[in-house]
Structure 1
C-alpha cells in the first residue's frame, strides 16, 4: 500500500452557472468545492470512502468573480480513530495574472466508512513540523468549542 496523501489542491474555473444575483460566485458553489476537496483529501489519507461529519467556521473573506481560477487547498491537521479534520483554504485569481487572494477558509471533519456505512479505523497522522503541531493543537481546541456549541444547539433539536 502507498503511503497516505496528506494534502491536495483542486482547481476550478468559476462559471456563469456558479453566480448569484449579485454577480459573484454564490456560497453554495464554494461550499460544494470545499466538500469535494475535503472528500478527495480524506479519501487520499484514509484509502476509504469518506462522509462529511461537520463543516464549520466557514469564513467568506472576499468574493469570487465569474471567470476566476479557483484553487481549493485541503490538508489533514488531526486524525481520530476514523475521523480526519481537514483545513481548507480557497484562493481565487484572474487566470491571466495568477495573483491569488484568499476568499474562504474553514475546517471540515470527514469520517472513513465501510460499505455498510460503519466508521472504520484510519492511519494516524503525527504532526512533525512546528506549523503542523500548531495546526494540530488548533484542531483539538476547535473540537472542544464544537462540543460546547453542540450542547447549546440542543435547544433547537428539543423544541
Structure 2
C-alpha cells in the first residue's frame, strides 16, 4: 500500500477555552485532541471513514498550559481485518522554544466503516523498523490483556 501514511502529528496552541478550574488544560480537551489525531491517522491509512472503538491506558503525565504548543502524534501499530490500533503521544511546550515534553499517552482502536456504518476491511500494515515491530508486539500483548480483562469483568458482573 505505497503512498499511505501510517502516522500523523497535529499541532496547535492550547487556548483559554481549554483550561479547567486549576488553570491547566483539562483532560477532556486532551482526549478530544487524541480522538481527532486518531481519526486523521486511521482515515489516512485506510482511506475510509473511521470510528473510535476503544481508548485505553490513557496516562496524564504532565500538565499542558494555555499558550503551549501541543503536538498530538498518532501512528498505526497493528491492523486487524477492519480495525487499526494506534499509539498516541501528546507533547507540549513553549512555542518560543524547540523543547516538548511528553504529557499524555494512550492506545486507540479505530474501525473503518462503510456508508451503512458496517465495519469494512482496511489495508494490512506491516512493520518495518525496530520501533514498528515493538509497537506491533505491544499491540498484540494489549489485545490479550483486554480480552482477559473483558472476561474477568463479565464474570464479575454476572454475580
Task: Give the TM-score band, short-chain normalised.
Answer: over 0.9
Partner of 1:127: 127
1:129 positional shift: 1.4
> CA 1:114–1:68 in structure 2 vs 1: closer, same or farther (change >3 Å)?
same
1:2 positional shift: 6.5
Structure 1 residue runs without a partner (length 5+): none
Any idea what the Cα deviations from partners look like across 1:17-63, whole Å, max 9, x if unmatched? 10001000000000000000000000000000000000000010100
CA distance in 1, matches of 2:150, 2:107: 16
Any idea what the Cα deviations from partners look like across 1:99-153, whole Å, max 9, x if unmatched? 1000000000000000001000110001111221111000000000011112223
CA distance in 2, matches of 1:62, 1:156: 34
CA distance in 2, matches of 1:81, 1:93: 37
CA distance in 1, matches of 2:158, 2:12: 41
CA distance in 2, matches of 1:158, 1:30: 34
1:156 positional shift: 7.3
The answer to whether residue 47 in structure 2 is matched with residue 78 in structure 1 is: no
The answer to whether residue 6 in structure 2 is matched with residue 6 in structure 1 is: yes
The answer to whether residue 93 in structure 2 is matched with residue 93 in structure 1 is: yes
> CA 1:18–1:137 in structure 2 vs 1: closer, same or farther (change >3 Å)?
same
Partner of 1:24: 24
Partner of 1:137: 137
The answer to whether residue 72 in structure 2 is matched with residue 65 in structure 1 is: no
Structure 2 residue runs without a partner (length 5+): none
1:84 positional shift: 0.2
Structure 1 consecutive aligned stretches of length 4 or more whose deviation exceeds 4 Å? 155-159
The answer to whether residue 52 in structure 2 is matched with residue 52 in structure 1 is: yes
Give TM-score, length-normalised by structure 2.
0.95
Partner of 1:104: 104
